[in-house]
Structure 1
Amino acid sequence: MNNIRNFCIIAHIDHGKSTLADRLLEYTNTVAGKEMQAQVLDNMDLERERGITIKSHAIQMGYKLNGEEYVFNLIDTPGHVDFSYEVSRSIAACEGALLIVDATQGIQAQTISNLYMALEHDLEIIPIMNKMDMDNAMPEEVEDQIVELIGCKPEEIIRASGKTGMGVDEILEAIVNRIPAPKGDPEAPLQCLIFDSVFNSFRGIIAYFKIVNGTINKGDLVKFVNTEKEYSAEEIGILKLDMSPTKSLSAGNVGYIISGIKTSKEVKVGDTITHVKRPCPKSIEGFQEVKPMVFAGVYPIETEDFEDLRSSIEKLQLNDASLTFEAESSVALGFGFRCGFLGMLHMEIIQERLDREFDMNVITTVPNVSYKVYTNKGGLIEVHNPSGLPDIMAIDRIEEPYIRASIITRTDYIGQIMTLCLGKRGELVKQNYISGNRMELIYDLPLGEIVFDFYDRLKSISKGYASFDYHMNGFRPSKLIKLDILLNGESVDALSCLIHVDNAVSLGKRMCEKLKELIPRQQFDIAVQAAIGAKIISRETIKAVRKDVTAKCYGGDISRKRKLLEKQKKGKKRMKQIGNVEVPQKAFLEVLKLD
């Protein structure tokens, strides 16, 4: 056990975590030859296409120092705020962390938030300044920022480059010398913490665990403490680039277990595995429950695919524990699920993964957040969907969730960022200078306002320099009203939203104009209206596709033409009564992107 080191790599997005992980794998000869490619641990198509890490990836390496053999268990984590739950789970399975800071960009919001997460778990932090080979690197400035943030000595910071391999030997030695070996007793009752799982259609569910105490052997009878189910450990092993089976694993190690579990509900991330004959006295303190930030309805395009969609989402939840869902139904879309996501990117990725991995075509409704509605009789209702809002006369007040946002940016962009935040009903709490021309703005913002495009707009205003991080900050009373979109007088509940009084009229108008462009023309006129209660605030008409019925009348009495037109008018009217309007998925997505 003294020669095991468990550590993860944490950093802000695009600071070079995966590239540095490549170099560590190369220097320890874990991956060589044709297996070696850029971002070798990002094994999902989506990750390679977008150039981001979505899942944390665990891998074991061997390293020799001063004649001693060491085993390194490395977990490469994502950097985007939408995948911070992955980071928290990786941190729970480690004793140390490599904190990587880009020498060209300095400390950014996710660097700070991931660092605090690691410090809460008492991890040993090794600060590394990456991208030192770049011409625009600012080592002295960034070094001062790191020293100020962590309180370490300047000589403790390792200067490295994931691209050229500079400083990698130093990092490997620091892992051995600075990160403590895992504590635990191989002879004690078995206690393993599940930190991730994945569904395999041939082998069932594969759970990844870290052994805190005890030893597990192949063929042992094990029990999952929270679900109280018992299984036989058909295969256990360590995580190399592929899974590599072993006979036994003891305290301090990270590995996987296959026990033929077919139902996804039976494996929970954060659960404890123990022996049936000699169980551990209590389960390991798991992770904090995930708090979804954005809610959206996910519906199958064909109603009969509902059960397939359920099993697809369950399998996806195994691999992404931050996804939450519950069944719901909608008048327009039939049966589907209300899903909770950590942000808009997370929602986009889940939709893409459902399509690629499970071949599910889905419609996603307008994302919203959950509100607390207090009724006149003193009751409290939690509303995730505008259609669940009680009658307006019965409502005393509506409270909406607020967040405390931290935005770190260059001073050049302060004015534009403040204008953006004020436009989103933000309140400035404080601003402070971090160093030189970098500044931190702390804002209180309504979560409903930042759900759609806040992050994208922040990035474009600041040319990519501003970084953004947030945490929940309670609920506050607010003047919110329900905005309905009506097509031919019928409400489309998938497009309804709860919105602040001041923005309702302008948003309603813009939604009507956008839908007029996107909904295909029918054989009859379609009225697109935005309404608040019974009051229509905006209307657009999608004109009918009309056949020229008077083409065959040349000359003769005008009444002949009029008769044909009247006949057509009656037909259109009848068609309008029985016709229904399909809203294409493209229209839903475009409405979301409305500024």
Structure 2
Amino acid sequence: MKNIRNFCIIAHIDHGKSTLADRLLEVTKTVSERELQAQVLDDMDLEKEKGITIKSHAIQMEYVLDGEKYVLNLIDTPGHVDFSYEVSRAIASCEGALLVVDATQGIQAQTISNLYLALGNDLEIIPVLNKIDMAAAMVEEVKDQIVDMLGCKREEILAASGKTGQGVEEILRAIVERVPAPKGDDTAPLQALIFDSVFNPFRGIIAYFRVMNGVIRKGERVKFFNAGSEYDADEIGVLKLKMSPREEIRAGDVGYIISGIKNSVDVKVGDTITSVATPCREAIAGFEDVKPMVFAGIYPVETDQYEDLRASLEKLQLNDASLTYEPESSLALGFGFRCGFLGLLHMEIIQERLFREFNMDVITTVPNVSYKVFTTKGDELMVHNPSGLPEPNLIDHIEEPYILAQVITKTEYLGAIMKLCIDKRGVLLNQNFITTDRVEVNFDMPLAEIVFDFYDKLKSVSRGYASFDYHMTDYKPSKLSKLDILLNGEPVDALSSLIYVDHAYDFGRKMCEKLKELIPRQQFDIAIQAAIGAKIIARETVKAVRKDVTAKCYGGDISRKRKLLEKQKAGKKRMRQVGRVEVPQEAFLAVLKMD
């Protein structure tokens, strides 16, 4: 065990951790030159295109230092805030972390939040300054930032370049020398922490784990502690670029288990694997069920594709256990599913994967969050969809989820960012200057406000310089009302939303104006109204397409023209009662892009 080192890499998006991982694999000769490609650990095309890590990966390297052979387990983590629970479990499986900071950009929001996670788990932090080969690198200034944040010595900071491979040998030496060897007892009952799982269509679900205590052997009957299910360990092994089977894996090491599991609910990240014969007394601390934060309806474009969509979501859920869905129907869109996502990026990725992997073209409704509704009888309901709200006279009060938002930006954009956050009902908690021209501000704000377009606006007011990170705090009472959109007096359920009372009037007016542009003209007038309860707060009218029925009356008496117009009017009235207004698909998407 003394020659094993388990470490992870933490960094903000785009600070080069996947590229640095490539160099580590290259220097330790884990990957042959033939297999080497950029971002070798990112499997999905999506990950390579967006330059983000979606699923975390693990890989074992062998490194010889001063004649002694060491086994280094790299547990790669996703960098994005939506996947912070996965990051926390990966961090719990390690003893050390490489903190990678981009020399051209300095410290960003996610670097800090992941760093706090690592420090909370008592990891040994090795600061690495990446991209030092670039012309815009501010080596000394960023070193100052790291010293201020970590309180380490300047000479402890390693300078490297993931692109050219400069400084990679020093990083490997530092991992061996600074990261402590894992602690654990081979003789104790088996305790292994699951930090990730992947789905293989031929072999079922493969769980990646780190053995804390005990030994796991091939063919042994194992139990998943929190899920309560039992399986046989058909194959266990270590993770090289491909899986390589072993007879046993001992305490301190990282490996995978294949036991023919077909149901993704049985394998939860953060769960503990133990032996059925000699079970451990308690699970490894820190397990939690991942709760979706953002909800949206997903509907097939063609109504007859409903069953295909169900099958696609089932397969996708095997790959990504944090996706939840349940069937729902809408008058405007037909049958579809209400899906729960960890955040906005997660939602975007699921949509993209549905399209790429299953060729499913879908319509997504306006994303919203879940609310706690307290009724006058004292009951508490969780509402994920505005149409699920009880009648207004039965509601005592509504609570909505709040987050702690952390924004790091250059000082010159501070005013614009403050205004943006306050407009979004944010309350400034504190601000502190990391360096003379970089400031970190913390806001307490409702999650519903950032779901919509907050991130885009933040990037535009700060010219792309601000970085943003958030985590859920708790639910707080709020003044919310349900805004309905009516077409000719009929509510369109897919366009209704729960909205803060003071914003409702503006939002309703803009909605009506937008829909007026998008709904095609019919043979009769269409009234578009925004309503809160029974009160109409905004109205627009799409005028009817009219035929000139008086064209054949040249000259003569006015009463003959009047008679024809009255006849047309009556026809229009009758048509309006039987005619249905078709809402085009663009209208549902336009709401998302509303300014």
Matches within 5 A, 1:349-428: 349-428=349-428
State the one-letter code of the partner of 2:69.
Answer: E
Deviates more, 1:123-132 or 1:214-223: 214-223
Determine the structure 2 residue equivalent to 1:199.
199
The 3 A distance-change label for structure 1 pair 271 and 135 is same
Matches within 5 A, 1:382-531: 382-522=382-522, 524-531=524-531
Determine the structure 2 residue equivalent to 1:588.
588
Q: CA deviation at 1:115?
A: 0.4
Determine the structure 2 residue equivalent to 1:161.
161
CA deviation vs aligned residue, 1:247-302 (integer Å, no higher than 9, x gap): 33222222222222222232222222222323233322243343433222334456
Where 1:2 maps in the other structure, the secondary structure is coil
Deviates more, 1:129-138 or 1:564-573: 564-573
Q: CA deviation at 1:215?
A: 2.4
The 3 A distance-change label for structure 1 pair 571 and 213 is farther
Count of aligned residue pairs for this structure pair:
594
Determine the structure 1 residue equivalent to 2:5.
5
Q: CA deviation at 1:328?
A: 4.4
CA deviation vs aligned residue, 1:30-89 (integer Å, no higher than 9, x gap): 223342222121221111222222221212222111122222211222222223223112
Where 1:465 maps in the other structure, the secondary structure is coil
8 A Cα contact 1:267 1:318, kept in partner: no
State the distance in 2 between where 1:322 and 1:124 align. 29
Determine the structure 1 residue equivalent to 2:91.
91
Q: Over aligned residue pairs, what C-alpha RMSD do you find?
A: 2.7
8 A Cα contact 1:129 1:160, kept in partner: yes
8 A Cα contact 2:80 2:110, kept in partner: yes
Determine the structure 2 residue equivalent to 1:271.
271
Determine the structure 2 residue equivalent to 1:214.
214
State the distance in 2 between where 1:357 and 1:349 align. 11
Determine the structure 2 residue equivalent to 1:73.
73
Q: CA deviation at 1:404?
A: 2.4
State the distance in 1 between where 2:16 and 2:250 align. 33
In the alignment, structure 1 segments of 5+ residues that lack a partner are none
State the distance in 2 between where 1:225 and 1:476 align. 34
8 A Cα contact 1:63 1:69, kept in partner: yes
Q: CA deviation at 1:591?
A: 0.6
The 3 A distance-change label for structure 1 pair 170 and 490 is same
CA deviation vs aligned residue, 1:483-524 (integer Å, no higher than 9, x gap): 111123211222111212221111111112222233344555
State the distance in 2 between where 1:198 and 1:561 align. 75
State the distance in 2 between where 1:423 and 1:490 align. 32
TM-score using structure 2 length: 0.92
State the one-letter code of the partner of 2:50.
Answer: R
The 3 A distance-change label for structure 1 pair 308 and 197 is farther
State the distance in 1 between where 2:544 and 2:207 align. 57
The 3 A distance-change label for structure 1 pair 276 and 109 is same
State the one-letter code of the partner of 1:489.
Answer: G
Determine the structure 2 residue equivalent to 1:128.
128
Determine the structure 2 residue equivalent to 1:282.
282
State the distance in 1 between where 2:215 and 2:447 align. 46
The 3 A distance-change label for structure 1 pair 289 and 223 is closer
CA deviation vs aligned residue, 1:129-163 (integer Å, no higher than 9, x gap): 11111122122221121112111111111011111
The 3 A distance-change label for structure 1 pair 564 and 256 is farther
State the distance in 2 between where 1:245 and 1:421 align. 52
8 A Cα contact 1:296 1:339, kept in partner: yes
TM-score using structure 1 length: 0.92
8 A Cα contact 1:8 1:75, kept in partner: yes
State the one-letter code of the partner of 1:86.
Answer: E
State the distance in 1 between where 2:373 and 2:122 align. 40
Deviates more, 1:90-99 or 1:510-519: 510-519
State the distance in 2 between where 1:83 and 1:547 align. 58
The 3 A distance-change label for structure 1 pair 178 and 507 is same
Q: CA deviation at 1:306?
A: 5.2
